[in-house]
Chain A
Amino acid sequence: MQKSVISIGPYHPLQEEPELFMLTVEGETVVDIEVSIGYNHRGIEKLSERCNFDQSTFVIERICGICSTSHPFAYTRAVEDIIPVEVPERARYIRTIIAEGERIHSHLLWYGLAGHFLGYNTVYMWMWKLREEILDVMEILSGNRNNYAMFKPGGVRRDINSDDIPLALKKIDAIIPTLDRLKKAILDDPVLHARLKGIGILTKEEAVDYCALGPTSRASGVARDVRKDAPYGAYDRVDWDMIVTESCDVWGKAVVRLLEMYESIKIVKTCLQNLPGGEIDLNIKSIPPGEGIGAHEAPRGETFHYVRSDGTNRPARHKVRASTFMNLPTLKATVPGSSISDATIILAAIDPCYCCTERMAVRSREGKKLYGGQELIRLSQEKTKKIKREMGIK
């Protein structure tokens, strides 16, 4: 059959960020998918290397607006890994509260957008209305709606005022009945069952092969969560469960996210109720030379940061690997074979975040040759040699 290419993007009403999907279709069926990114690339790793360790947290926070806690969390853990130090108990709890609040609002956001893609605009409006309540809680606790600016290497920047805790707890309790109603509406809806079950299958073997992370892997039966596997923050001090389903499809991913919100609410409430006293910051004065790694389970999966220090007050190298970078290739396994109308929700099911994932690649104009770092350096050196030859300098 004749093949044709449908391009979605880079500016498309489906997406809030610019990216380009090229779907190769045979009739109604998608046979291949190609993703083109780079419309969001801002060179943050390089920017981070010209800031000092404290300033970097602000730059890292702006990698992605939705994961604005996950990246600083992983980064500060990487810097603390260089020294190495243990952060004070109160700071651990505050970090956990902010991180879990972010998870709730991120999952609600995903639900809203998924509902919108499926034609359920009611779900979209309800979820985002509920999300405002969570943002209010975050505003009470941290002073900001989105970029919380709470993290710094060695602790947290601001303390949670004990007078604010009762109001925050009251607001969180008020969310639960609405969430229960939405949960019932989603889980009992026959149309959503028909629409989401059995599409975008990512088997357990494929999830392991593609190194899928977060809800994408947990929906395929891979019980992998940094918060359980290598506890940090206050995750080993509170009682919570890892949500794993075996259904492998888009429905499974939706259920994992729905139930994870309940776990996050449980963690936030427990942490707020048992917030220990004491210092919130270690006041780190200098960072010795060395390397450190830090990981955090972001709403979309594990976020991983690597920082190398050379003894100055700036990172010598900072490497970011966001969760979508690992989840995006799974589309190669899930999208081909589905119909065009299902492709939308399968693309959205991994909760893609392109501003986290952005990379720069240098490609030759002819053909599709990609240049790596070593090759670029070699090309640069050859050009210098060529110019020298032309100018007659030996």
Chain B
Amino acid sequence: MNLTLKALLKSPWVFHLSTGSCNNCDIEILDCLTPRFDIERFGMRLVGSIRHADVLLVTGSGNRKSMLRVKKIYEEQVPKPCVVVGIGECAMSRGMFIHSYNCPRPLDSDIPVDVYIPGCPPKPEAIIAGVVKLINKIKGIE
């Protein structure tokens, strides 16, 4: 594990990116920050700018208009190394929007996704557990 990755895992800063979701996953992400779940005790913070982010939390079924922006954001603006977490059923497989005319491709055909958290929406506990598992995996603890 190189130094940048090691430094990243100490206190991962997350940025939340919606690609056409129903808001539920986005609200559950914000829920993680509020006093009951409080992910800041793990050093995670929701940041305002994409250029400060270490982890991208991507929600939604990948709609035609927003995927262009997401691809651009991932390729040009996020500092690497960057970990991408797909939150919710839509980010995994597009869920019930698989037949929609405006959601042509799954998320992972455009950007690489490191971990998926299933659920519609996943509970905050599940989101925290998913991120902790990801950190442990990168560290090599299983």
A: which residues have CB within 8 A of B?
10-11, 13, 16-18, 38-44, 46-47, 50, 58-59, 62-66, 68, 109, 112, 124-125, 128-129, 132, 145-147, 353, 355, 360
Contact = CB atoms under 8 A, between A and B. Distances in A.
Nearest to B70: A11
Nearest to B67: A39
A125 B31 CA distance: 10
B63 A10 contact: no
B97 A42 contact: yes
Contacts of B50: 11
B102 A64 contact: no
Interface stretch (B2-10, B21-29, B105-113): B21-29
A47 B30 contact: no
Contacts of B63: 39-42
Contacts of A42: 20, 61, 63, 97, 100, 102-103
Contacts of B81: none
Which has the most chain B C-beta neighbours within 10 Å: A38, A62, A353?
A: A62
B23 A355 contact: yes
Given A11-B69, A18-B69, A40-B66, A47 B22 contact: no
Contacts of A146: 24, 27-28, 121
B141 to A, nearest CB: 30
A39 B20 contact: yes
A46 B121 contact: no
A194 to B, nearest CB: 26
A109 B30 CA distance: 10
A65 B122 CA distance: 12
Given A39-B63, A42-B61, A16 B99 contact: no
Nearest to B66: A39
B31 A128 contact: yes
Nearest to A68: B24
B19 to A, nearest CB: 8
A66 B27 contact: yes
A125 B103 CA distance: 34
Nearest to A109: B27
A63 to B, nearest CB: 7
A147 B120 contact: yes
B140 interface: no
Interface string B48-82: 11100000000011010110010001000000000
A128 B30 contact: yes
B78 to A, nearest CB: 12
Contacts of A62: 22, 24, 96, 120
Nearest to B38: A125
Contacts of A59: 96
Nearest to A61: B22
Given A68-B24, A147-B24, A13 B48 contact: yes
Interface string B92-133: 000011011111000000000000000011010000000000
B113 to A, nearest CB: 18
Given A42-B100, A147-B121, A64 B23 contact: yes
Nearest to B35: A129
B17 A11 contact: yes
A11 B24 contact: no
B34 A132 contact: yes
B25 A65 contact: yes
A66 B61 contact: no
Given A16-B16, A129-B36, A147-B121, A355 B22 contact: yes
B18 A47 contact: no
Nearest to B36: A132
Which has the most chain A C-beta neighbours within 10 Å: B49, B69, B73?
A: B69
Contact of B20 (A40, A47, A50, A124): A40
Nearest to B50: A11
Contact of B121 (A13, A41, A65, A125): A65
A58 B24 contact: no
A13 B17 CA distance: 10
Contacts of A124: 34
B34 to A, nearest CB: 4
Contact of A47 (B26, B35, B48, B97): B97
Contacts of A41: 20, 63, 65, 102
B21 A128 contact: no
Contact of A17 (B26, B100, B101): B26
B18 A17 contact: yes
Given A39-B66, A64-B23, A65-B27, A47 B36 contact: no
Contacts of B49: 13
B35 A125 contact: yes
Contacts of B60: 40
Which has the most chain B C-beta neighbours within 10 Å: A39, A41, A58, A132?
A: A39
Contacts of A17: 18, 21, 23, 26
